[in-house]
Amino acid sequence: MTLLNPDDATGWVTNSNQAITIRLFSGEDVMSVEKFLKQNTTNSALSEEECDLDIVEFHPSFTYTVFGELEKIFGYKGLQIYLNYAAGSLMTYLQIFYKNTVNKIETIENVSLKVDEIEEPITKVLSSDLLHSISDFSKAVVSESIDFTPNGKKIHQYTLSNENDCVYEIYENNFSDKEFRKFHQRLQTFVIFFIEGGQFVDDTDEKWTFYTLYKKADYCGKNVYSFVGFCSVYNYFHWPDNIRARISQFLVLPPYQQSGHGSKLYNFIRQSILSNTLIVDLTVEDPNEAFDDMRDKNDIKWMLSAGNIKKLDKPLPFKDLHNLMSASKFCKKQLIRVAELCLLKNLNNKSSKSDNFKEYRIWVKKRLFRQNYDMLIEMEPEERKKKLQDTFDSVYQDYIRILSTI
């Protein structure tokens, strides 16, 4: 029997983000799906007989909710965890493969080494209707490739200029639909894997509105749907009889990122907010940097297309800004940020020594001082002045970066 020195135990540690592969399946032949699933392989190894399968693969960004803060799994060699999804309905089948476990290795000291549990913690974040056999999953894939249509009401569609064989559709849903609640139980696992700090939401609360995004492709005269992403919006009460809408979760799956889908989804949601007279503004819950960038760029483009940016030709008090930009339904923080970006754009690269730029710099610095008052007021005057200038320089460079992409 092979002996294991405890110092060599690190060789039995696997990064859980890399061990897990998420796969979205479409296909019309049950035997082809079954044959592929019985192999411990990726879609790059599809044979000619399996060419009718469409399998999209990617890894999760975060697995600490399942496997701990370090995102490590101990005790396996050659570990592969496959989360297999039917591309449209997200019906799920879990597979776990490995070549060896540390349980079979004898240590040279009186040390007991045990493998980390895999199936139990990962099953906790999967839906209760998890499929348990290759046969059942294969049949589900083929059935929905023929018959599946998304839940909810189709409210928008668009195409991409570089894709001629498909269309993307957005559907609106809420938890009053029992079928959508079942679908959401499968969908919400992606929240854990791709949104840092993401949590499951209460699916009995009907104040949630969900926008799901699908790719619809023609395959031999049939429409085949693949899930692309989603956005959840919570509708808060706003006195006396209005609503404040808050984007809570926003996700485009990795294979579809960097193609404009996030902007398409966000712009449609914003346009829906603007056309709803009950909604007073749109906020975002804990956005990450990538979402902030996408949001800023699209909000400025909207200001440009609406002609509103031309009206902003000088620094204004918040009250005047709000009156000027009220139709945008930006929340206060975003309204100020967009106004600062738009006015900087209107300066047309004027010299930093010009009166217009000096006025702009003072305007932004006043906002930064109010925003960071508690910290700045504790500093000595010279230190405060330097800190405020450094903060302004950082904001200014970030604004230049954003405007350079528009």
Catalytic residues: 285
Q: Which residues contact 247 (CB under 8 A, 6 or more apart)?
A: 231, 232, 233, 269, 282, 283, 284, 285, 287
Cβ-contact 109, 6 below 8 angstroms: yes
- The per-residue DSSP string of 320-376 comes to HHHHHHGGG-B-HHHHHHHHHHHHHHHTTT--TTSHHHHHHHHHHHHHHHHHTHHHH
Is there a binding annotation on residue 173? no
266 phi and psi, to 5 degrees? -60, -45
Q: Determine if the peptide bond prior to 240 is cis (ω within 30°).
A: yes
State the DSSP code for 254.
Answer: G
Q: Where are the beta strands (DSSP E) in 159-270?
A: 166-173, 208-219, 222-238, 242-252
Is there a binding annotation on residue 132? no
Is there a binding annotation on residue 263? yes
Is there a binding annotation on residue 238? no
Is there a binding annotation on residue 305? no
3-class DSSP assignment, residue 192: helix
Is there a binding annotation on residue 257? yes
What is the Cα–Cα distance from 266 to 262, expressed in whole angstroms? 6
Cβ-contact 145, 164 below 8 angstroms: no
What ranges in 188-281 are assigned the alpha helix state H? Answer: 189-194, 261-275
Is there a binding annotation on residue 184? no
Is there a binding annotation on residue 39? no
- CA 380 to chain centroid, in Å, comes to 43
Kindly list the distances between the CA atom of residue 243 and the CA atoms of 114, 180, 205, 250, 333, in Å, as whole numbers in the listed order.
53, 23, 16, 20, 18
Question: Which residues define the annotated binding site?
Answer: 257-263, 288
Annotated binding-site residues for acetyl-CoA read 257-263, 288
